[in-house]
Amino acid sequence: METLFKLDVDDDIWQDVGSTDDIDTLNSIPPWLGDENVRQGIKALLELDRCEEEERRLAAERIALQQWMKEEWLVICQALDTAVEDPAISYQFIERKKLLLRLCQKWQPSVQVIPYIGDDCWGPSKEELLQANTYEFEEQVWQDNDFEDIESMDDMDPNEAEFLDIVEIMALDY
């Protein structure tokens, strides 16, 4: 079998030529090769560069996330204003609006630690987010008498019970 690449030890890549020729002697080891502090410093500098690069990527992702949310919010609000006459469509738009509010509630605190210069607007107003937050943590509490009207799973039609199981699984995905 033929070798595709031929590497000789005398290749130029292995020569430390030019960087410190005036202070090197034949018996000295270059600092990047022999000094452990220099080697650790090089590794630390490379790690710092990767961290700064990742920070820039995260900031770009945050910007994209906020822009997407603003656009979706604007579109859903405009769609809701135009669909007033059809209750079925209005209901779907209202549900979409609730979903966007929940997403915004989850995303905002998570991305606050990412350095960002710009407006902190996500689309929904602070009042809408506060109202959604109140609903999420206060109004969804079941009262003991709420369970009186629910049929037992044994009395349900098997198809209805299967449907409720699917709905419950889907709710967990949110």
pLDDT one-digit tens code per residue, 24-69? 566 678 888 888 999 999 999 999 999 999 999 998 999 899 999 9
Tokens for 54, please give them: 């990742």
Residue 100 phi, psi (nearest 5): -65, -40
pLDDT per residue rounded down to tens, the chain (174 residues): 455 555 555 666 566 566 555 665 666 788 888 889 999 999 999 999 999 999 999 989 998 999 999 999 999 999 888 877 788 888 888 899 988 998 888 888 888 888 777 777 888 888 888 887 777 666 555 555 554 555 555 565 666 777 777 777 776 665
pLDDT value of position 17? 61
